[in-house]
Amino acid sequence: MSKAERKEAEQEVTKELTETFVNENNIEDLPGVGPKVAEKLREGGYADLMAIATAPLKELAELTDLGDGTAQKIINAARDKLKMSFNTGLEVMERFKSMKFITTNSKELNALLGGGIETQSLTEVYGKFGSGKSQLAFQLAVNVQLPEEEGGLNGHALIIDTENTFRPKRIMELAKAKGLNPEEVLSKIHVARAFSTDHQVLLTEKIPEFIEEKKVPIKIIIVDSLMSLFRSEFIGRGTLADRQQKLNKHLHMLQRMADRFNAAVFLTNQVIESPDVFFGDPTKAAGGNVLAHASTYRVYLRKSKGEKRVARLMDSPCLPDGECIFSVTEKGIED
């Protein structure tokens, strides 16, 4: 695909995105939503019908300073407009046809994941330091910009960086290896450093506002790493319930972003050592059952000899458990 053709493909994606906003952002049409209420909703992260339709009643009522009854009417009206009800299996299958994949650059890893990193899904990779989590995230931020026939989505990447791991120099190396213009690739990667869990959640809430303002086709949302700030702020068993509740809300918000923008959500995660395991690998993903249930695909990465890494698919709704080997080289992720 030529540069002109790639530009045209990206413009088509942007046009589709713009039309989606026009159709979904008329929250003033809802009964009881005037200019002031609409402004409060948007400031609180409820800028579209889907966000309002899936909002907790108490939270929406407090945000808008309206009673529970009025808030429930607003939520019900949003649900009616979106026709949120039961669908047949055939109708659900049509939605699944819109799902796409971003190549990881490794045929073996793509095969393990059923084609690559899936849109409308949360893919979590966890492993010890140096296992290749961030390197895979960088590779996906570059690959998403490729045309569809080359394993990309003609899109942009959005990265929430909680550990100060983002390195433009590495992105430029990966771009050159793919034959892309490094500066152009960097211009399509949007990075925000998160300094607290509140900031991390806020950045997620602001994604629709950012896309609407910039009119860019975000096709992958990367959080590197998901649990770092949660583990540093919530210390001790006494804070565990609050941490998991906040994490659960954050994950559901990310899933809504994935569904709304037909984007992939890629989460890197830290590990803990389970003290009750005397035989075998004691490594477990941080985040507990809340994260385990929320992740659509869960992959455990571990180091092997030299550049080799081992990926094991731990959980998937439609794929069998399995393993594959890939490499992390100067050129990026390879077989």
pLDDT digits (tens, 9 = 90+) for 16-59: 554 544 445 578 888 888 888 888 888 777 877 878 888 888 88
| pLDDT at site 335 | 93
DSSP state of 191: E
Residues 158-191: tens digit of each pLDDT = 999 999 999 999 999 999 999 999 999 999 999 9
The position carrying tokens 């084609």 is: 115
Give yes or no for a contact between 116 and 101, defined as CB atoms under 8 angstroms apart: yes
Structural element, H or E, at residue 252:
helix 240-261
Give the chain's residues under pLDDT 70. Answer: 1-25, 277-278
- As to burial, measured by CB atoms within 10 angstroms (0-12 exposed, 13-18 middle, 19+ buried), residue 291 is buried
Looking at residue 189, what is its pLDDT?
98
Residue 161 is predicted with a pLDDT of 98
How far is residue 50's CA from residue 252's CA, in Å, rounded to a whole number? 13
Using CA atoms, how far apart are residues 157 and 190, in angstroms rounded to an integer?
6
Using alpha carbons, select from 314, 264, 280, 255 the residue that is nearest to residue 127. 314
Query: All domains of the chain, ordered by start, with CATH?
Result: 3-82 (1.10.150.20), 96-334 (3.40.50.300)
* Signed CA dihedral, 282, 286, 289, 293: sign only: negative
Rounded Cα gap, residues 109 and 131, in angstroms: 14
pLDDT of residue 274: 78
User: DSSP string spanning 66-134?
Assistant: --HHHHHHHHHHHHHHHT-S---HHHHHHHHTT--EE--S-HHHHHHTTSSEETTSEEEEE-STTSSHH
Phi–psi pair at 313, nearest 5 degrees: -80, 110
Predicted pLDDT of residue 21 = 44
Q: Give the per-residue pLDDT at 275.
A: 73
Determine the Cα–Cα distance for residues 139 and 97; give it in Å rounded to an integer: 25
Residue 157: predicted pLDDT:
98
